[in-house]
Amino acid sequence: MKALSATFCLLSLALTTTARAQLTNILSVGDPLDEGVSFNFVAEYDGVQINNANQIAFFADVTFSDDTFSNRAIYRAEPDGTFTPLALQNQTVFENTTLQNFFDHYWPNYGFVFNDLGQAAFTADLLVEEDDNFDWQYSLLVSDDASNIQRVAYTG
C-alpha cells in the first residue's frame, strides 16, 4: 500500500450529462508546474476552487529546483492542462516589497477567493524594505498572474 503522503493529488470532478461523475487526475506529487517548480501537495484543506471557466485554483506547497526548501504558492490549472502561477511566497511583488506569508489569521478559512475571470483574491504579509528599514504590511491582493499582482488594501 502506498504511503498516504504519496497519494496526495489534485482531482477535478466533472459531471456528465448523464449525471455520472468522472474523476480526472490533474496533478500528482512531484509533477512539474513550471520550469524548475514541482508540486508537493495541496497546502490547505480548503485550498482548491473551480470556476465556471473550468479553471482550478489551488494553494500548494511547491519545491523550486534551486532551493532546498518548499514554498507556498497559488496556481491556476487551465482546461488545456497548463498551469499559471498566481502568487509565489518570497517573490518580489512591488519595488522593495516581497510577499512573505499567505493567509494569516484574518482571512476566513485561511483561503482565497477565485472568480470566473481566473483571478484569485487573498491576504498576505508583505515585507517592505526602505533604506535598511523593514516594515510589514498586511495586504489584500488580487492576481491573474504572478507578474500582475494588484494591492487592493493594506495596513500601515
Q: What string of DSSP letters covers 22-52?
A: EEEEEEETT-EEETTEEEEEE-STT-EEE-T
Q: How far is CA 131 from CA 46, 91, 98, 136, 140, in A?
A: 39, 20, 15, 14, 25
- What's the pTM value of the predicted model, to 2 decimals? 0.79
- Per-residue pLDDT of 115-152, as tens digits, reads 999 999 988 889 999 888 888 888 899 999 999 999 99
Q: Please give the residue that has the higher pLDDT: either 74 or 16.
A: 74
Domain that holds residue 100: 4-154
Could you say which DSSP state residue 7 is in?
G
Measured CA to CA, the distance from residue 57 to residue 114 in angstroms comes to: 7
What's the total number of domains in the chain? Answer: 1
pLDDT tens digits, residue range 78-107? 999 899 999 988 889 988 899 988 865 455
Residue 110 · residue 125 · CB < 8 Å = no
Average pLDDT value for residue range 26-42: 85
The DSSP output letter for 108 is: G
